[in-house]
Structure 1
Amino acid sequence: MAFLDDLFIRLTSRKVGQDRFGNTYWEARSRRDVYGRPMRRVIYAGAPEATTVPPEWWGWIHNTTEQPLPEDAPRRAWQKDHRPNRTGTAEAWRPPGADSRGGQRPATAGDYEAWTPGR
């Protein structure tokens, strides 16, 4: 089905650009959304995962900006590179005490102590 979606998009839309992850962005030639704006679409380079859309293109695909932000714009020291969501992968963040990290967390002063009758 993805093949037919890609073919439909390529036949009915014009290519606007491509991001550094390989995703391509398209704008429909004649189809409009309910607000009268041309429909905007993305063809993902790999698995269809919405978190792979970088911030430079996010505003454009959601009709917040008319043009995508330049990817080669100077970055501030505090800005980090975009990373897709890693949930469910080996790179996912796991807090101390998570089952995947042994299930042992450090003891704290407020740890619960069960009530035992007769004490």
Structure 2
Amino acid sequence: MLRLTSAISGRKVGTDRFGNVYYEGKRTLPVYNRARRWVLYAGDAEATKVPPEWHAWLHHTTDAPLSETKRYAWQKEHQPNLTGTPAAYRPVGHDYVGGRQRSNGGDYEAWTPGS
């Protein structure tokens, strides 16, 4: 349904390297005095899949999407939120990493109720 609505009431602005398609409304909204912008996600709808170049455009920070090809050596490739996936961050001591926490040095005494 959103694809049909997007084709009728919006104009396609572009596609990012992940396959997400970006649209801008054909009319200006009177309250904000600007057109509405939205994205059709490739795959599951997950906001963290939008790269920073397009995030700035979606939130009206820039008038045009930033270049995805101009990259600096210090810039990392965009990654969506990996929480809940096998690639998620697991700190030392996590059950999935072996479950062994580092020693506390022996100066910790656990509290027990009634003592």
Give me the TM-score of the superposition, normalised by structure 1.
0.85
Partner residue of 2:75? 79
Matching residue's letter, 2:87: E
Instruction: Choose from 79, 101, 105 the match for 1:105.
Output: 101
* 1:22–1:44 Cα contact (<8 Å) kept: yes
**Equivalenced residues, count:** 112
Counterpart CA distance in 1 for 2:30 and 2:48 is 23
Q: Quick one: percent identity of the two aligned structures?
A: 54
SS state of the match for residue 64, structure 2?
coil
Shift of residue 108, structure 1, vs aligned partner: 2.9
Give me the TM-score of the superposition, normalised by structure 2.
0.88
1:18 aligns with 2:10: no
* 1:33–1:39 Cα contact (<8 Å) kept: no
Matching residue's letter, 2:89: W
Counterpart CA distance in 2 for 1:47 and 1:67 is 25
In structure 1, list runs of 5 or more residues that go unmatched. none
1:90 aligns with 2:86: yes
Matching residue's letter, 2:3: D
In structure 2, list runs of 5 or more residues that go unmatched. none
Matching residue's letter, 1:47: D
Matching residue's letter, 2:77: D
Matching residue's letter, 1:86: L
| Counterparts in 2 of 1:105 and 1:25: CA distance versus 1, 3 Å | same
Partner residue of 1:70? 67
Matching residue's letter, 2:36: M
Shift of residue 111, structure 1, vs aligned partner: 5.4
Counterpart CA distance in 2 for 1:115 and 1:6 is 58
Counterpart CA distance in 2 for 1:62 and 1:19 is 16
Root-mean-square deviation (Å): 1.8
